[in-house]
Structure 1
Amino acid sequence: MTSGSLGKKLQYAYETDQNDRKQLRSFIGLFSKLNERDDKRLTQVKELSQDRKLLKPMDKFYAAFIYHHSDNSTDYETASKLSAQAAESEKLQDHYQVQWLKKAAYDRYMVSLGKPEKYNTQNSFGIKVE
């Protein structure tokens, strides 16, 4: 992770997360290191936020996005809380990704608990052939 302020480090984690998801190789089994990279980013973000409070709304958004790409309910809950706090910021009321993440993180958390989605963001696309 890059050196610099907490905000810059969280922004870097977010940007690498998004860049990884734009690479086709990230989704091809043998070539994919996506889960490994997600785990590394999550560990780094947890360390960054452990001793410091995330005060800026965008810092909360960046951290929430990393928690959102975890694989467990506890992290999804953290993503939901952080993204909701970011979305409440007056400066981010019209920021599409911030508002979307608030809904997606909440839905992912609910689905992980076996509960229904509220915003229908976790539906998956599938084709049934008979």
Structure 2
Amino acid sequence: METDNVSRNLEYAYNTDQNDRKEIKSFIDYFSKLEERDSIRLRQIKNYYHQGKISNPKDKFHAAFIFHHSDNSKDYKIASELAEEAANSDKLKNEYTVQWLKKASYDRYMVSIGKPEKYGTQNNFSIDFN
């Protein structure tokens, strides 16, 4: 869904990103279209970013989440910057998920460039079925 309303499009991208990650089949290679869908969302959000259309704190949070799910340091750095700006805003300073993203995106960026985490958010998660 794409409209002329950037805020609405960013919110939609965020919601579909989160919904995709709630589907277990998203993590089973045979069924997964997660990478393809992430790529589409990231392309759209990068266009808004490079056009300077991401300005309010909630939009920055939504965009940061999409950049955070990229696969490279440059995008992680952008995610970290956007998330920090959103987290430091009066409007979102008490929102848990916004504050978590500020930390997680910073840690993800640091790990991606070979530096240590600051907040310890990038621990590996695994499930043992034995």
SS of 1:92 mapped into structure 2: coil
Do the aligned residues in 1 keep the contact of 2:6 with 2:53 (CA within 8 Å)? no
Q: How does 1:50-129 map to 2 (within 5 A)?
A: 50-126=50-126
Change (3 A) 1:127 1:3: closer
Supply the AA of the counterpart residue of 1:2: E
1:62-85 Cα offsets, whole Å, 9 max, x none, are 000000000000000000000000
Percent of aligned pairs sharing the same letter: 60
TM-score by length of 1: 0.94
Deviation of residue 126 (structure 1)?
A: 4.5
Cα distance, 1:116–1:50 mapped onto 2, change above 3 Å: same
Aligned to 2:39: 39
Query: Which whole-Å CA distance do the structure 1 matches of 2:77 and 2:7 have between them?
Result: 21
> Which segments of 5 or more consecutive residues in structure 2 lack a partner in the other structure?
none
Distance of 1:42 and 1:5 partners within structure 2: 17
Matched, 1:9 2:25: no
What is the total number of aligned residue pairs between the two structures?
128
**TM-score for the superposition, normalised by structure 2:** 0.94
RMSD: 1.4
